Amino acid sequence: MIGRRVLTAASALALAVSLTGCYEDPDVTVYDPGVYKGKEDPLLAKLEDPEFRAELDERFDGQRDR
């Protein structure tokens, strides 16, 4: 009798533990396609600097044939 109760309790516990891995957070963020609404990117401001842009173009110049 006690063995059956222990088995039932252990089965219930195992089921509860296994189902916790299936939990999915219902908080979903939906974005408009093609519109970035995340944090500000500090590199975008850097790209406006002509010196930085020229340095990137120079570094990338050897890879244009690929």
Q: With a threshold of 0.75, does the pTM exceed it?
A: no
5-39 pLDDT tens trace: 888 888 888 887 777 766 777 787 777 888 777 78
46/55 Cα distance (integer angstroms): 12
3 state SS of 5: helix
Q: Where are the domains of the chain?
A: 1-60
39/49 Cα distance (integer angstroms): 20
31-63 pLDDT tens trace: 788 877 778 888 888 888 899 888 888 887 766
52/59 Cα distance (integer angstroms): 11
